[in-house]
Amino acid sequence: MLTLRKATLADSPLILAWRNDPEAVDMSGTGRAVTEAEHDRWYIKTLTDITVHLYVAEADVRTEAWQPETIAAIGMGRINEECGVAILSYSIDKDHRGQGYGGELVADLCAKAYELGCTSIQAVCRHANTASVRALLGQGFEIDDRELLHLTKEKDR
């Protein structure tokens, strides 16, 4: 089970590492890593912008079968609000990919977006990002565009 908590200044190095993970960079909209200075400017702007909600996803994980579960940061999610529309962005830590966290993170971000009053949720991902496509489609998103996948989910009424 995932828990979302608001990102803090202390999370900046972790989020920079996630943003610059080579696989995440390949699947990002820009396709390039960010410098520490670029990240610092973006991070402060993100934390202070009332229309942007940045979360760290945490889960109970076990590194070895014989060890007790511990809480670990397994990824991040962001919601940008624009006129009642939530635009989602998320990333799962490379050590926690392929474990089903993507769909759960998308579901939790959608719930947060609806709590914020958004009535439509959009996500954009590369067609080659099959894990994200699967996670988004699994949460009820529909494909709007075939080049870059623009996926939308309307709030149930």
pLDDT tens digit sequence for 87-137:
999 999 999 999 999 999 999 999 999 999 999 999 988 888 899 999 999
State the pTM of this model.
0.88
Q: Residue for token digits 């075939």?
A: 146
* Strands across the sheet containing 85-92: 2-6, 52-61, 70-82, 85-92, 120-126, 148-154, 142-143
Place of tokens 């309307």: 154
Is pLDDT larger for residue 48 or for residue 29? Answer: 48
CB neighbourhood size of 33 (10 A): 15
Taking the domain 2-154, which CATH number applies?
Answer: 3.40.630.30
**Integer CA distances (angstroms), 68 to 40, 57, 72, 103, in order:** 35, 19, 12, 25
Give the percent of the chain with pLDDT over 70.
94
Q: Residue 59 pairs with which residues in a beta bridge?
A: 2, 72
